[in-house]
Amino acid sequence: MIKTEIVSGKIEPFPSEDSHHNDGAELVFNGRVRSTENGETIRGLFYEHYEGMAEEELQSLAAGTAEKFPISDIFCRHRIGEIPVGESAIHVSIWSEHRAEGLEAMAWFISELKKRVPIWKWAVLENGTKIPSECRHELPTEK
């Protein structure tokens, strides 16, 4: 099964179940917000997305991952909006018969997501100013 979602609230993890009798591996990845961005202390990250296209690309990527690797299920939730330090921005769960293909699928999925799903992060500074993450050292801190 493939399930992807972009959500605006705190991410509820997919359940860890005992009912996958043919899967020996359950892989879970949580991408969490660090307290610094480009060396600066932040209070969180703000994720924006291209509504419609981001959902489509995420679903297509998950489907492509399930075709490329022999996995049983792939689930992904990506959060948007402001995410405080320490909380998850992304949660991925993959089930596979053996660990090797699951681990490979997870690495590929995350790596591809960072290339093609139109989602961007803004650093939220301690004073609340938001700036695109990549621009941190090129721009004034107030705008």
Q: How far is the CB of 125 from another protein (least distance, A)?
A: 14
Query: Quick check: 91 binds another protein (CB under 8 A)?
Result: no
- Give the DSSP letter of residue 10: P
Query: Quick check: 74 binds another protein (CB under 8 A)?
Result: no
Burial of 79 (0-12, 13-18, 19+ CB in 10 A): buried
The nearer residue to another protein, 21 or 143, going by C-beta atoms, is 143
Query: Quick check: 46 binds another protein (CB under 8 A)?
Result: no
Query: Quick check: 133 binds another protein (CB under 8 A)?
Result: yes
Query: Quick check: 64 binds another protein (CB under 8 A)?
Result: no
34, 35, 114, 129: residue in contact with another protein (rule CB under 8 A): 114
Question: Which residue type is seen at 54?
Answer: A
The full 3-state SS of 90-109, as one line of letters, equals: EEEEEEECCHHHHHHHHHHH
